[in-house]
Amino acid sequence: MSSRPELQAPPEIFYNNDEARKYTSSSRIAEIQTKLSERAMELLALPDDGVPRLLLDIGCGSGLSGETITENGHQWIGLDISHSMLNVALEKEVEGDLLLGDMGQGLGLRPGVIDGAISISAVQWLCNADKSSHEPRLRLKTFFGSLYRCLARGARAVLQVYPENLAQRELILSYSMRAGFAGGVVVDYPHSTKKRKEYLVLTCGPPSLSTAVPNGKGEDGESSSDDESSGDEETQMVCISDRHRPRKKQKINKKGKGREWVLRKKEQMRRKGNAVPPDTKYTARKRKARF
């Protein structure tokens, strides 16, 4: 069986009461989550003016990443699909407000109220169809669309992800760009198997100097340059230019859809019991440029 939890069971089932307490009580997991959260807050690049911001923690779990937000002096709202994880967070009396919900169905927050968002090891769950009604592309579209709407103009979202492969990373990135975000992927320690971490750094709004993607950290803890991280396709940094991919050309029949095709479709609709206008000599006739 795969060690990736998202391939074993849906999150609300995988993180049951036992797994939620085991996850939260592990000092190793707590240390990893703290480091990831601190790095996400660094990439969020909030103004250092002492003014508390309202942040969104997507897939907050038991509140480990929320504690980092609190330590940085900000208020936060946490969203998670696991009831057991949220119960543990309530027992810990975390500072943030907690919401039980599925991010794949939208965040359900008012437009422009969130000053920034982070997510630790959660968004890749959307790439799996846990139910027959789940379509990963539609769920990603819904999630990123609702995230874009609830963020204030110019606000950032930093989503730490564990994509299963390059195709899954590109799928997540492409739907974030379609929602209107500018940004790309920051890869820390790109040449390390264990320490490699990927962050999707997104800005609400069109590309500008302020939406430039930060550099990832190298093996020595310092920012790695473009030359260091461009060794192969797996470790390249994805830039803003990826937003402007040429659209696929639609195949257009020069003759168009003729009368026979229209009559056949209308007959199919009648068999289904739909109300269809009667056939006349004007059916499928092309209108003139000036009507």
Rounded average pLDDT over 169-198: 90
Position 198 pLDDT exceeds 70: yes
Percent of the chain with pLDDT over 90: 43
Percent of the chain with pLDDT over 70: 82
Q: What pTM was estimated for this model as a whole?
A: 0.70
Tell me what pLDDT residue 224 has: 52
Res. 158 pLDDT band, cuts 50 70 90: very high
Lowest-confidence pick of 22-31, 156-165, 218-227: 218-227
pLDDT digits (tens, 9 = 90+) for 225-279: 444 444 444 434 444 333 344 455 545 555 567 888 889 889 888 888 888 899 9
Tell me what pLDDT residue 2 has: 56
pLDDT digits (tens, 9 = 90+) for 41-73: 999 989 888 899 999 999 999 899 999 999 999
**HEC readout, the chain:** CCCCHHHCCCHHHHCCHHHHHHHHHCHHHHHHHHHHHHHHHHHHCCCCCCCCCEEEEECCCCCHHHHHHHHCCCEEEEEECCHHHHHHHHHCCCCCEEEECCHHHCCCCCCCCEEEEEEECCHHHHHCCCCCCCCHHHHHHHHHHHHHHHEEEEEEEEEEECCCCHHHHHHHHHHHHHCCEEEEEEEECCCCCCCCEEEEEEEECCCCHHHCCCCCECCCCCECCCCCCCCCHHHCCECHHHHCCCCCCCCCCCCCCCHHHHHHHHHHHHHCCCCCCCCCCCCCCCCCCCC
Position 140 pLDDT exceeds 90: yes
